[in-house]
Structure 1
Amino acid sequence: MEPRVGNKFRLGRKIGSGSFGEIYLGTNIQTNEEVAIKLENVKTKHPQLLYESKIYRILQGGTGIPNVRWFGVEGDYNVLVMDLLGPSLEDLFNFCSRKLSLKTVLMLADQMINRVEFVHSKSFLHRDIKPDNFLMGLGRRANQVYVIDFGLAKKYRDTSTHQHIPYRHRII
Protein backbone atom coordinates (compact mmCIF):
# COMPACT_ATOMS: atom_id res chain seq x y z
CA MET A 1 0.00 0.00 0.00
CA GLU A 2 1.24 3.48 -0.88
CA PRO A 3 2.18 5.86 1.94
CA ARG A 4 -0.57 8.34 2.82
CA VAL A 5 -0.61 11.61 4.71
CA GLY A 6 -3.59 12.95 6.63
CA ASN A 7 -5.81 10.38 4.89
CA LYS A 8 -6.02 12.86 1.98
CA PHE A 9 -2.65 12.78 0.25
CA ARG A 10 -0.53 10.11 -1.40
CA LEU A 11 3.22 10.47 -0.82
CA GLY A 12 5.34 10.33 -3.99
CA ARG A 13 9.00 10.77 -4.86
CA LYS A 14 11.44 13.05 -3.06
CA ILE A 15 11.79 16.38 -4.88
CA GLY A 16 14.04 18.31 -2.52
CA SER A 17 15.65 18.62 0.85
CA GLY A 18 16.53 21.43 3.15
CA SER A 19 18.44 21.80 6.37
CA PHE A 20 15.34 20.83 8.36
CA GLY A 21 13.66 18.08 6.39
CA GLU A 22 12.70 16.63 3.06
CA ILE A 23 10.15 17.62 0.45
CA TYR A 24 8.13 15.10 -1.52
CA LEU A 25 5.76 15.26 -4.43
CA GLY A 26 2.28 14.35 -3.24
CA THR A 27 -1.16 13.87 -4.74
CA ASN A 28 -4.56 14.78 -3.34
CA ILE A 29 -6.34 11.41 -3.38
CA GLN A 30 -9.77 12.94 -4.16
CA THR A 31 -8.83 15.55 -6.79
CA ASN A 32 -5.57 14.06 -8.16
CA GLU A 33 -4.01 17.54 -7.74
CA GLU A 34 -0.25 17.52 -7.10
CA VAL A 35 1.06 19.10 -3.89
CA ALA A 36 4.35 19.50 -2.04
CA ILE A 37 4.74 17.57 1.22
CA LYS A 38 7.41 18.68 3.69
CA LEU A 39 8.43 16.09 6.30
CA GLU A 40 10.35 16.68 9.53
CA ASN A 41 11.22 13.90 11.98
CA VAL A 42 9.39 14.51 15.27
CA LYS A 43 12.60 13.62 17.14
CA THR A 44 14.63 16.36 15.45
CA LYS A 45 16.67 18.45 17.88
CA HIS A 46 15.14 21.78 16.82
CA PRO A 47 11.67 21.15 15.34
CA GLN A 48 10.39 24.06 13.27
CA LEU A 49 7.63 22.78 11.00
CA LEU A 50 4.80 23.62 13.43
CA TYR A 51 6.23 27.15 13.82
CA GLU A 52 6.57 27.48 10.05
CA SER A 53 2.97 26.31 9.52
CA LYS A 54 1.75 29.00 11.95
CA ILE A 55 3.59 31.70 10.00
CA TYR A 56 2.14 30.43 6.71
CA ARG A 57 -1.35 30.67 8.30
CA ILE A 58 -0.68 34.32 9.29
CA LEU A 59 0.51 35.10 5.74
CA GLN A 60 -2.27 33.12 3.98
CA GLY A 61 -3.96 34.96 1.14
CA GLY A 62 -0.97 37.15 0.33
CA THR A 63 0.19 37.26 -3.29
CA GLY A 64 3.12 34.89 -3.74
CA ILE A 65 2.46 32.99 -0.50
CA PRO A 66 1.79 29.28 -1.08
CA ASN A 67 -1.42 27.85 0.38
CA VAL A 68 -1.12 25.41 3.25
CA ARG A 69 -3.40 22.43 2.58
CA TRP A 70 -2.78 20.45 5.78
CA PHE A 71 -0.51 20.29 8.82
CA GLY A 72 -0.28 17.43 11.28
CA VAL A 73 1.70 14.51 12.64
CA GLU A 74 1.87 11.26 10.70
CA GLY A 75 3.82 8.46 12.38
CA ASP A 76 7.32 9.76 13.18
CA TYR A 77 6.93 12.94 11.12
CA ASN A 78 5.58 16.45 11.36
CA VAL A 79 3.98 17.05 7.96
CA LEU A 80 3.22 20.26 6.05
CA VAL A 81 1.24 19.92 2.81
CA MET A 82 1.21 22.95 0.52
CA ASP A 83 0.88 24.13 -3.08
CA LEU A 84 3.32 22.53 -5.50
CA LEU A 85 5.48 25.23 -7.05
CA GLY A 86 7.97 25.39 -9.90
CA PRO A 87 11.72 25.96 -10.00
CA SER A 88 13.59 28.25 -7.61
CA LEU A 89 15.31 31.40 -8.83
CA GLU A 90 18.61 29.59 -8.18
CA ASP A 91 17.47 26.78 -10.52
CA LEU A 92 16.39 29.29 -13.19
CA PHE A 93 19.64 31.23 -12.91
CA ASN A 94 21.64 28.02 -13.42
CA PHE A 95 19.37 26.91 -16.27
CA CYS A 96 20.05 30.27 -17.98
CA SER A 97 23.85 29.82 -17.70
CA ARG A 98 23.87 32.26 -14.77
CA LYS A 99 22.89 35.15 -17.07
CA LEU A 100 19.55 36.97 -17.01
CA SER A 101 18.44 39.97 -19.06
CA LEU A 102 17.99 43.31 -17.35
CA LYS A 103 14.23 43.09 -18.02
CA THR A 104 14.02 39.68 -16.33
CA VAL A 105 16.07 40.84 -13.34
CA LEU A 106 13.86 43.91 -12.88
CA MET A 107 10.62 41.93 -13.19
CA LEU A 108 11.82 39.33 -10.68
CA ALA A 109 13.23 41.97 -8.30
CA ASP A 110 9.93 43.89 -8.31
CA GLN A 111 8.01 40.77 -7.25
CA MET A 112 10.66 39.72 -4.71
CA ILE A 113 10.57 43.16 -3.06
CA ASN A 114 6.76 43.00 -2.95
CA ARG A 115 6.90 39.57 -1.25
CA VAL A 116 9.38 40.78 1.38
CA GLU A 117 7.34 43.96 1.99
CA PHE A 118 4.21 41.82 2.50
CA VAL A 119 6.00 39.62 5.06
CA HIS A 120 7.19 42.79 6.85
CA SER A 121 3.64 44.22 6.78
CA LYS A 122 2.59 41.17 8.83
CA SER A 123 5.32 42.05 11.38
CA PHE A 124 7.75 39.28 10.40
CA LEU A 125 11.30 39.15 9.09
CA HIS A 126 12.06 36.17 6.81
CA ARG A 127 15.74 35.91 7.84
CA ASP A 128 16.74 33.47 5.07
CA ILE A 129 16.41 35.48 1.87
CA LYS A 130 18.21 33.70 -0.99
CA PRO A 131 17.40 32.57 -4.55
CA ASP A 132 16.58 29.02 -3.32
CA ASN A 133 13.69 30.44 -1.25
CA PHE A 134 11.95 32.20 -4.14
CA LEU A 135 10.05 29.82 -6.43
CA MET A 136 8.12 30.34 -9.63
CA GLY A 137 4.50 29.25 -9.84
CA LEU A 138 3.14 26.59 -12.19
CA GLY A 139 0.59 26.66 -15.01
CA ARG A 140 -1.27 29.96 -15.21
CA ARG A 141 0.86 31.23 -12.29
CA ALA A 142 4.18 30.41 -14.00
CA ASN A 143 5.21 34.10 -14.04
CA GLN A 144 4.43 34.66 -10.36
CA VAL A 145 7.21 34.61 -7.76
CA TYR A 146 6.51 32.87 -4.43
CA VAL A 147 8.48 33.13 -1.20
CA ILE A 148 8.94 29.96 0.87
CA ASP A 149 10.73 28.54 3.92
CA PHE A 150 9.72 30.55 6.99
CA GLY A 151 11.46 28.27 9.49
CA LEU A 152 13.88 31.01 10.56
CA ALA A 153 11.35 33.88 10.43
CA LYS A 154 10.93 36.09 13.49
CA LYS A 155 8.32 38.56 14.61
CA TYR A 156 9.97 41.99 14.76
CA ARG A 157 7.15 44.21 16.00
CA ASP A 158 4.01 43.97 18.08
CA THR A 159 1.06 43.47 15.73
CA SER A 160 -1.32 45.81 17.58
CA THR A 161 1.01 48.65 18.66
CA HIS A 162 3.58 48.29 15.85
CA GLN A 163 6.24 48.80 18.53
CA HIS A 164 9.56 47.20 17.62
CA ILE A 165 10.27 44.07 19.70
CA PRO A 166 13.80 44.27 21.13
CA TYR A 167 16.25 41.69 19.79
CA ARG A 168 16.05 38.32 21.62
CA HIS A 169 12.59 39.13 23.03
CA ARG A 170 10.46 38.14 20.05
CA ILE A 171 7.25 36.15 20.41
CA ILE A 172 4.89 34.58 17.88
Structure 2
Amino acid sequence: MVIDLLGPSLEDLFNYCNRKFTLKTVLMLADQLINRVEYMHSRGFLHRDIKPDNFLMGLGRKANQVYIIDYGLAKKYRDLQTHKHIPYRENKNLTGTARYASVNTHLGVEQSRRDDLESLGYVLMYFLRGSLPWQGLKAGTKKQKYDKISEKKMLTPIEVLCKSYPSEFTSYFHYCRSLRFDDKPDYSYLKRLFRDLFIREGYQFDYVFDWTVLKYPQIASSSRGVKTPVRPELREKFEPFNRRTSSGGGLHADHSRHRSEDIPSSKEVVSEFPCLSVLPNDFIVYFLKTTRLDAVPANGLRQRPRVSNCQHFKESCNVKQPPKLLW
Protein backbone atom coordinates (compact mmCIF):
# COMPACT_ATOMS: atom_id res chain seq x y z
CA MET A 1 0.00 0.00 0.00
CA VAL A 2 1.31 3.45 -0.93
CA ILE A 3 0.28 6.54 1.02
CA ASP A 4 1.27 10.18 0.81
CA LEU A 5 4.26 11.43 2.77
CA LEU A 6 2.89 14.04 5.15
CA GLY A 7 4.32 16.70 7.42
CA PRO A 8 4.02 17.31 11.17
CA SER A 9 0.86 16.72 13.16
CA LEU A 10 -1.10 19.55 14.73
CA GLU A 11 0.14 18.31 18.10
CA ASP A 12 3.74 18.66 16.87
CA LEU A 13 3.04 22.17 15.63
CA PHE A 14 1.21 23.04 18.84
CA ASN A 15 4.37 22.15 20.78
CA TYR A 16 6.47 24.06 18.25
CA CYS A 17 4.38 27.16 18.98
CA ASN A 18 4.90 26.83 22.74
CA ARG A 19 1.50 25.15 23.22
CA LYS A 20 -0.73 28.06 22.27
CA PHE A 21 -2.38 28.94 18.96
CA THR A 22 -3.79 32.36 18.15
CA LEU A 23 -7.48 32.74 17.35
CA LYS A 24 -6.63 33.31 13.70
CA THR A 25 -4.77 30.02 13.38
CA VAL A 26 -7.52 28.11 15.22
CA LEU A 27 -10.20 29.53 12.94
CA MET A 28 -8.25 28.71 9.77
CA LEU A 29 -7.75 25.18 11.06
CA ALA A 30 -11.38 24.81 12.16
CA ASP A 31 -12.61 25.36 8.62
CA GLN A 32 -10.48 22.52 7.25
CA LEU A 33 -11.02 20.21 10.22
CA ILE A 34 -14.79 20.40 9.92
CA ASN A 35 -14.44 19.70 6.20
CA ARG A 36 -12.34 16.58 6.85
CA VAL A 37 -14.80 15.21 9.40
CA GLU A 38 -17.72 16.01 7.10
CA TYR A 39 -16.06 14.11 4.25
CA MET A 40 -15.55 10.99 6.38
CA HIS A 41 -19.18 11.14 7.46
CA SER A 42 -20.29 11.55 3.84
CA ARG A 43 -18.58 8.23 3.07
CA GLY A 44 -20.50 6.52 5.84
CA PHE A 45 -17.78 6.37 8.50
CA LEU A 46 -17.14 7.81 11.95
CA HIS A 47 -13.54 8.51 12.93
CA ARG A 48 -14.01 8.01 16.70
CA ASP A 49 -10.52 9.23 17.63
CA ILE A 50 -10.48 12.93 16.81
CA LYS A 51 -7.34 14.48 18.34
CA PRO A 52 -4.47 16.78 17.26
CA ASP A 53 -2.12 13.83 16.65
CA ASN A 54 -4.46 12.52 13.94
CA PHE A 55 -4.39 15.67 11.81
CA LEU A 56 -1.26 16.22 9.75
CA MET A 57 -0.20 19.07 7.50
CA GLY A 58 0.88 18.36 3.95
CA LEU A 59 4.29 18.97 2.40
CA GLY A 60 5.55 21.24 -0.36
CA ARG A 61 2.74 22.85 -2.30
CA LYS A 62 0.21 21.23 0.03
CA ALA A 63 1.86 22.46 3.22
CA ASN A 64 -1.27 24.48 4.05
CA GLN A 65 -3.64 21.54 3.69
CA VAL A 66 -4.79 19.47 6.69
CA TYR A 67 -5.04 15.69 6.35
CA ILE A 68 -6.88 13.30 8.66
CA ILE A 69 -5.17 9.99 9.49
CA ASP A 70 -5.46 6.86 11.65
CA TYR A 71 -8.67 5.02 10.86
CA GLY A 72 -7.96 2.18 13.29
CA LEU A 73 -11.04 3.02 15.36
CA ALA A 74 -13.23 4.16 12.47
CA LYS A 75 -16.66 2.57 12.22
CA LYS A 76 -19.36 2.42 9.59
CA TYR A 77 -22.45 4.19 10.91
CA ARG A 78 -24.81 3.61 8.00
CA ASP A 79 -25.30 1.44 4.97
CA LEU A 80 -24.40 3.41 1.83
CA GLN A 81 -27.15 1.67 -0.20
CA THR A 82 -30.04 1.76 2.25
CA HIS A 83 -28.75 4.73 4.31
CA LYS A 84 -29.93 2.89 7.41
CA HIS A 85 -28.26 4.25 10.54
CA ILE A 86 -26.71 1.94 13.15
CA PRO A 87 -28.98 1.39 16.16
CA TYR A 88 -28.71 3.34 19.40
CA ARG A 89 -26.98 1.31 22.10
CA GLU A 90 -25.67 1.86 25.61
CA ASN A 91 -23.10 0.26 27.94
CA LYS A 92 -20.32 0.65 25.38
CA ASN A 93 -16.68 0.83 26.43
CA LEU A 94 -14.89 4.11 25.83
CA THR A 95 -13.43 4.15 22.33
CA GLY A 96 -10.93 6.87 21.42
CA THR A 97 -8.90 9.29 23.52
CA ALA A 98 -10.50 10.23 26.85
CA ARG A 99 -9.23 13.83 26.77
CA TYR A 100 -11.26 14.61 23.64
CA ALA A 101 -14.11 12.09 24.00
CA SER A 102 -17.67 13.40 24.01
CA VAL A 103 -19.79 13.31 27.14
CA ASN A 104 -22.03 10.63 25.62
CA THR A 105 -18.99 8.48 24.89
CA HIS A 106 -18.03 8.67 28.57
CA LEU A 107 -21.58 7.64 29.45
CA GLY A 108 -21.28 4.49 27.32
CA VAL A 109 -23.56 5.62 24.50
CA GLU A 110 -22.85 4.34 20.98
CA GLN A 111 -20.98 7.02 19.03
CA SER A 112 -22.45 8.82 16.03
CA ARG A 113 -21.64 11.88 13.95
CA ARG A 114 -22.37 14.29 16.78
CA ASP A 115 -19.57 12.76 18.87
CA ASP A 116 -16.85 13.34 16.26
CA LEU A 117 -17.88 16.99 16.13
CA GLU A 118 -17.97 17.40 19.91
CA SER A 119 -14.47 15.91 20.08
CA LEU A 120 -13.36 18.39 17.45
CA GLY A 121 -14.70 21.20 19.63
CA TYR A 122 -12.47 20.03 22.49
CA VAL A 123 -9.50 20.04 20.10
CA LEU A 124 -10.21 23.67 19.15
CA MET A 125 -10.48 24.74 22.80
CA TYR A 126 -7.28 22.83 23.59
CA PHE A 127 -5.50 24.89 20.93
CA LEU A 128 -6.93 28.17 22.23
CA ARG A 129 -6.54 27.55 25.95
CA GLY A 130 -3.31 25.58 25.90
CA SER A 131 -4.91 22.78 27.92
CA LEU A 132 -8.29 21.41 28.97
CA PRO A 133 -9.64 21.47 32.56
CA TRP A 134 -9.55 17.66 32.85
CA GLN A 135 -5.88 17.30 31.93
CA GLY A 136 -3.33 16.21 34.53
CA LEU A 137 -5.76 14.36 36.78
CA LYS A 138 -4.07 11.68 38.88
CA ALA A 139 -5.55 8.20 39.37
CA GLY A 140 -4.40 4.71 40.27
CA THR A 141 -5.78 2.90 37.23
CA LYS A 142 -6.79 3.80 33.71
CA LYS A 143 -10.46 3.22 34.52
CA GLN A 144 -10.24 5.52 37.54
CA LYS A 145 -8.58 8.16 35.39
CA TYR A 146 -11.30 7.88 32.74
CA ASP A 147 -13.92 8.23 35.47
CA LYS A 148 -12.22 11.37 36.81
CA ILE A 149 -11.99 12.88 33.33
CA SER A 150 -15.65 12.07 32.71
CA GLU A 151 -16.73 13.63 36.00
CA LYS A 152 -14.68 16.78 35.47
CA LYS A 153 -15.91 17.12 31.90
CA MET A 154 -19.56 16.84 32.88
CA LEU A 155 -19.13 19.26 35.79
CA THR A 156 -17.50 21.88 33.55
CA PRO A 157 -20.23 24.01 31.92
CA ILE A 158 -19.63 24.93 28.30
CA GLU A 159 -19.69 28.60 29.29
CA VAL A 160 -16.83 27.98 31.72
CA LEU A 161 -14.84 25.95 29.20
CA CYS A 162 -15.18 28.73 26.60
CA LYS A 163 -14.94 31.67 29.02
CA SER A 164 -12.96 34.63 27.64
CA TYR A 165 -13.25 33.27 24.10
CA PRO A 166 -15.70 34.27 21.35
CA SER A 167 -19.28 33.09 21.88
CA GLU A 168 -19.14 31.11 18.62
CA PHE A 169 -17.26 28.35 20.45
CA THR A 170 -20.03 28.13 23.05
CA SER A 171 -22.59 28.00 20.23
CA TYR A 172 -20.62 25.21 18.56
CA PHE A 173 -20.79 23.00 21.67
CA HIS A 174 -24.45 23.76 22.35
CA TYR A 175 -25.28 22.76 18.79
CA CYS A 176 -23.28 19.50 18.91
CA ARG A 177 -24.84 18.49 22.22
CA SER A 178 -28.34 19.30 20.95
CA LEU A 179 -28.09 16.73 18.14
CA ARG A 180 -29.98 13.49 18.47
CA PHE A 181 -28.18 10.19 17.96
CA ASP A 182 -28.97 9.78 14.26
CA ASP A 183 -29.23 13.46 13.28
CA LYS A 184 -27.23 14.68 10.32
CA PRO A 185 -25.19 17.68 11.54
CA ASP A 186 -25.43 20.99 9.72
CA TYR A 187 -21.74 21.25 8.86
CA SER A 188 -22.31 24.43 6.86
CA TYR A 189 -23.75 26.14 9.93
CA LEU A 190 -20.70 25.21 12.00
CA LYS A 191 -18.29 26.43 9.34
CA ARG A 192 -20.29 29.62 8.93
CA LEU A 193 -20.04 30.30 12.68
CA PHE A 194 -16.28 30.41 12.48
CA ARG A 195 -16.05 32.06 9.06
CA ASP A 196 -18.24 34.95 10.20
CA LEU A 197 -16.10 35.33 13.32
CA PHE A 198 -12.97 35.28 11.17
CA ILE A 199 -14.30 38.10 8.99
CA ARG A 200 -15.51 40.09 11.97
CA GLU A 201 -12.04 39.91 13.51
CA GLY A 202 -10.61 41.36 10.30
CA TYR A 203 -8.26 38.47 9.59
CA GLN A 204 -6.94 37.60 6.14
CA PHE A 205 -7.37 33.99 5.03
CA ASP A 206 -3.77 33.89 3.86
CA TYR A 207 -2.79 30.52 5.37
CA VAL A 208 -0.16 32.25 7.50
CA PHE A 209 -0.38 30.03 10.56
CA ASP A 210 1.44 30.62 13.83
CA TRP A 211 4.18 28.18 12.86
CA THR A 212 4.61 29.98 9.52
CA VAL A 213 5.29 33.24 11.36
CA LEU A 214 7.78 31.50 13.65
CA LYS A 215 9.61 29.91 10.76
CA TYR A 216 9.54 32.99 8.50
CA PRO A 217 9.42 36.03 10.82
CA GLN A 218 9.58 38.48 7.91
CA ILE A 219 5.94 37.76 6.97
CA ALA A 220 4.56 38.57 10.41
CA SER A 221 3.89 42.20 9.51
CA SER A 222 1.48 41.20 6.75
CA SER A 223 -0.69 38.99 8.92
CA ARG A 224 -2.62 39.78 12.10
CA GLY A 225 -1.95 37.63 15.14
CA VAL A 226 0.25 37.57 18.19
CA LYS A 227 3.70 36.16 17.67
CA THR A 228 4.32 33.29 20.05
CA PRO A 229 7.84 32.46 21.27
CA VAL A 230 9.17 29.04 20.33
CA ARG A 231 11.35 26.79 22.39
CA PRO A 232 14.83 26.48 20.74
CA GLU A 233 14.92 22.68 20.85
CA LEU A 234 11.58 22.49 19.03
CA ARG A 235 12.60 25.05 16.43
CA GLU A 236 15.61 22.88 15.63
CA LYS A 237 13.48 19.74 15.48
CA PHE A 238 10.84 21.08 13.11
CA GLU A 239 12.86 23.57 11.07
CA PRO A 240 12.98 21.24 8.04
CA PHE A 241 9.40 19.96 8.29
CA ASN A 242 8.41 21.12 4.79
CA ARG A 243 11.66 20.34 3.01
CA ARG A 244 12.07 17.29 0.87
CA THR A 245 15.20 15.28 1.49
CA SER A 246 17.61 15.55 -1.45
CA SER A 247 20.41 13.04 -2.02
CA GLY A 248 22.53 14.02 -4.97
CA GLY A 249 21.38 16.16 -7.87
CA GLY A 250 19.64 19.46 -7.37
CA LEU A 251 21.43 22.66 -6.51
CA HIS A 252 24.92 22.51 -5.02
CA ALA A 253 26.07 26.03 -4.29
CA ASP A 254 27.54 28.05 -1.47
CA HIS A 255 24.68 29.81 0.31
CA SER A 256 26.80 31.33 3.07
CA ARG A 257 26.74 34.86 1.66
CA HIS A 258 22.99 35.03 1.39
CA ARG A 259 21.46 32.59 3.83
CA SER A 260 19.64 33.82 6.91
CA GLU A 261 17.01 32.48 9.31
CA ASP A 262 14.46 34.92 7.87
CA ILE A 263 14.13 33.24 4.47
CA PRO A 264 13.81 29.64 3.27
CA SER A 265 16.87 27.90 1.85
CA SER A 266 17.52 27.71 -1.89
CA LYS A 267 17.11 23.94 -1.83
CA GLU A 268 13.73 24.28 -0.18
CA VAL A 269 12.54 26.68 -2.85
CA VAL A 270 13.86 24.53 -5.68
CA SER A 271 11.95 21.55 -4.27
CA GLU A 272 8.71 23.56 -4.48
CA PHE A 273 9.44 25.49 -7.70
CA PRO A 274 11.26 23.11 -10.10
CA CYS A 275 11.71 25.85 -12.70
CA LEU A 276 14.33 27.46 -10.44
CA SER A 277 16.63 24.43 -10.53
CA VAL A 278 18.31 25.77 -13.67
CA LEU A 279 19.19 29.10 -12.07
CA PRO A 280 22.38 30.22 -10.33
CA ASN A 281 22.13 30.66 -6.58
CA ASP A 282 22.08 34.47 -6.90
CA PHE A 283 18.86 34.27 -8.90
CA ILE A 284 17.19 32.14 -6.24
CA VAL A 285 18.28 34.41 -3.42
CA TYR A 286 16.70 37.33 -5.25
CA PHE A 287 13.55 35.27 -5.79
CA LEU A 288 13.38 34.64 -2.05
CA LYS A 289 13.61 38.34 -1.31
CA THR A 290 11.01 39.47 -3.84
CA THR A 291 8.39 36.70 -3.83
CA ARG A 292 5.75 35.85 -1.20
CA LEU A 293 6.16 32.07 -1.01
CA ASP A 294 3.40 31.84 1.58
CA ALA A 295 0.76 33.38 -0.69
CA VAL A 296 -1.87 30.82 -1.63
CA PRO A 297 -5.28 30.93 -3.31
CA ALA A 298 -8.48 29.95 -1.55
CA ASN A 299 -8.07 26.25 -2.44
CA GLY A 300 -5.03 26.01 -0.19
CA LEU A 301 -2.49 25.19 -2.90
CA ARG A 302 0.61 27.27 -3.30
CA GLN A 303 0.80 29.43 -6.40
CA ARG A 304 3.50 28.91 -9.01
CA PRO A 305 5.94 31.76 -9.53
CA ARG A 306 4.68 34.10 -12.22
CA VAL A 307 6.62 35.01 -15.34
CA SER A 308 6.92 38.53 -13.90
CA ASN A 309 9.36 37.09 -11.37
CA CYS A 310 11.67 36.29 -14.25
CA GLN A 311 11.54 39.96 -15.19
CA HIS A 312 12.79 40.75 -11.69
CA PHE A 313 15.68 38.37 -12.31
CA LYS A 314 16.46 40.01 -15.65
CA GLU A 315 16.46 43.55 -14.32
CA SER A 316 18.47 42.86 -11.17
CA CYS A 317 21.07 40.50 -12.58
CA ASN A 318 21.55 41.98 -16.08
CA VAL A 319 20.49 38.80 -17.83
CA LYS A 320 19.65 39.13 -21.51
CA GLN A 321 16.71 36.72 -21.42
CA PRO A 322 14.60 35.54 -18.50
CA PRO A 323 14.93 31.81 -17.74
CA LYS A 324 12.32 29.54 -19.26
CA LEU A 325 9.77 28.01 -16.90
CA LEU A 326 10.04 24.24 -17.10
CA TRP A 327 6.41 23.09 -16.67
TM-score by length of 2: 0.27
Q: Does 1:112 align with 2:49?
A: no
CA deviations over 1:6-37 (Å, ceiling 9, x no partner): xxxxxxxxxxxxxxxxxxxxxxxxxxxxxxxx
Task: Measure, in 1, the Cα distance between the counterparts of 2:14 and 2:58.
Answer: 16
Structure with the higher fraction of residues in strand conformation: 1
What secondary structure is seen at the aligned counterpart in 2 of 1:82? coil
Determine helix, strand or coil for the equivalent of 1:135.
strand
CA–CA separation in structure 2 for the residues paired with 1:99 and 1:163: 41
Which secondary structure does the structure 2 equivalent of 1:83 belong to?
coil
Is 1:150–2:71 an aligned residue pair?
yes
Q: Which residue of 2 aligns with 1:141?
A: 62
Is residue 102 of structure 1 aligned with residue 23 of structure 2? yes
Shift of 1:166: 2.1
Find the aligned partners of 1:167 and 1:145 in 2 and give their Cα distance.
Answer: 32
SS at match of 2:3: strand
CA distances 1:144-166 after superposition (whole Å, capped 9, x unpaired): 00000001100001101211022
Moved more, 134-143 or 99-108: 99-108
Number of the residue aligned with 2:108:
none
CA distance in 2 between partners of 1:141 and 1:102 (Å): 22
Query: For residues 100 and 151 of structure 1, what CA distance do their matches in structure 2 show?
Result: 28
Give secondary structure in 1 for the equivalent of 2:39.
helix
> Residue 141 of structure 1: CA displacement?
0.2
Where does the alignment leave 5 or more consecutive residues of structure 2 unmatched?
90-327
Looking at structure 1, the residues matched to 83 and 26 of structure 2 have their Cα atoms a distance apart, in angstroms, of: 33
1:27-80 CA distance string (max 9 Å, x none): xxxxxxxxxxxxxxxxxxxxxxxxxxxxxxxxxxxxxxxxxxx2xxxxxxxxxx
Matches within 5 A, 1:32-47: none
Query: 1:167, CA displacement in angstroms?
Result: 5.4
In structure 1, the gaps of 5 or more residues are 1-69, 71-80
| Match for residue 132 of structure 1 among 53, 63, 71 | 53
2:14 is the alignment partner of 1:90:
no
What's the C-alpha RMSD, in Å, of the aligned pairs?
1.6
Alpha-carbon deviations, 1:86-120, whole Å to 9, x = none? 00000000000011111110011110110000000
Letter of the 1:125 counterpart: L
Q: Which residue identity lines up with residue 67 of structure 2 in the other structure?
A: Y
Q: How many residues align?
A: 90
Query: 1:128 deviation in Å?
Result: 0.7
Structure (1 or 2) with the greater helix fraction: 2
Identity across the alignment (%): 81
Q: Equivalences for 1:155-170 in 2 at 5 Å?
A: 155-166=76-87
Letter in 2 for 1:116: V
Q: Which TM-score applies when normalising by structure 1?
A: 0.50
One-letter amino acid matched to 1:96: C
